[in-house]
Amino acid sequence: MKGTLVLAAWEVRRAVRTRWVLGGGIAFAAGASAVALLGLESARELGLSGAGPASAGLIGFAMLLAPLLGLLLGASSIAGARERGILGMILVQPLATRSVVGGFFLGALGALWLIILVGLGAAGVIFGAVADASDVGALIAIAASTLAVAAASVAIGVAISCMTEGQSQAAGWAVTIWFLMALGVDLALAGLGPSIHLGPSALLVVILLNPIETVRVLALLASDAQGIQLGPFGAYLDARFGDQGAAVVMLGALAIWVWVPLALAWWRLERRKDRA
C-alpha cells in the first residue's frame, strides 16, 4: 500500500508541475462558470429562483468534460511512463503489479479531482450568490457525481494505457471512447430508440453499460429522490428498485466500472510479454 501511495503522490505532483492541473482547472472553471451564469440568466428570465433550475446545465457540462479529462489523464499515465522510459525502472522496484496500477490510477484520479474541485468551486461561488438551503443538496450531488464519473473514466483510461503501445495511440483511443460514451450512445438512442421501441428495462441496461449515463442518473436521483426529473424511467426505477434501491444499483454499476478496467489493466500489465 505504501508503494501505491508513493506512486500516486508522484503522479499528482507530476500533473501539477506539468500544468495539467492548472490548465484543466482553468478550462473547467471557465466552462462551469459560463454554464452557471447562462443557466442563472435563463432561469431568471423564466421567473425561476434559486440555483436548482440552473444546475442541470452544470451536470451536463461536468458529465462531458470530467470523463474526457479522466480518460486522457488515465491513458497518458502508464503509456506516458513507458514512452519516457521510466516505467521499466518503476516495474523493477519491489512492488506488486497491482500496486503499480493502483498508484497510477490514484495519482491520475487525485489530479483530476483537484481540477474538478477548482472548476466546480468557481461555479459554486456563482451559485452561492443565489442558492437557498434547498439547493445545497443538489449542488453537493453534482460535485459527488462528477468525482464519481472521474473515477470510472480514469480507470478506463488506465486500462487503455496498458493496452496500447504509445501515448498518442492511447490518447486516440481515449477520445474515441469518450465520444462513444458521452455522445455516441445518446445519438444512437435518439436515432434508433423510436424504431426499436426500447422499453425501460432495456434502457436500464443501456444506462448501466455506460458509466456517464449511470452517473447522470445517479446525480438526478440524488437531487430528486422521487425521480420526477427522470420521467417515466424514474417511475420505472422507483417501482422496480424502490427509493434507495435504484441508487444502490447505479452505485454498484459504477463500482464495477472502476474495478473491471483496473483489473483489466493489471492483467494486461502482468501478462504483457514486454512490460516496459
- Judged by CB under 8 A, the residue of 30, 38, 48, 96 near other proteins is 96
Q: Which stretch binds other proteins (CB under 8 A): 61-69, 93-101, 157-165, 185-193?
A: 93-101
Dihedral, 135, 26, 186, 254 alpha carbons, nearest 10: -70
For residue 73, CA distances in Å to 109, 114, 253 come to 8, 13, 22
Q: How far is the CB of 80 from other proteins (least distance, A)?
A: 11
Q: Decide if 15 contacts 73 (C-beta within 8 A).
A: yes
Quick one: 18 or 176, whose CB is closer to other proteins? 18
Question: What ranges in 164-228 are assigned the alpha helix state H?
Answer: 167-179, 185-196, 200-208, 211-223
- Judged by CB under 8 A, the residue of 85, 133, 190, 194 near other proteins is 85
For residue 89, CA distances in Å to 84, 95, 98, 275 come to 11, 11, 16, 11
Q: Which stretch binds other proteins (CB under 8 A): 32-40, 78-86, 135-143, 254-262?
A: 78-86
Size of the site for other proteins (CB under 8 A): 25
Angstrom distance (rounded) from CA 227 to CA 237: 8
The verdict on 200 binding other proteins (CB under 8 A) reads no
Residues numbered 8-67 forming contacts with other proteins, rule: CB under 8 A? 10, 13-14, 17-18
Angstrom distance (rounded) from CA 26 to CA 119: 7
- Judged by CB under 8 A, the residue of 45, 197, 231, 273 near other proteins is 273
Q: Which stretch binds other proteins (CB under 8 A): 5-13, 26-34, 64-72, 255-263?
A: 5-13
Q: Which residues bind other proteins (CB under 8 A)?
A: 2-3, 6-7, 10, 13-14, 17-18, 84-86, 88-96, 273-276
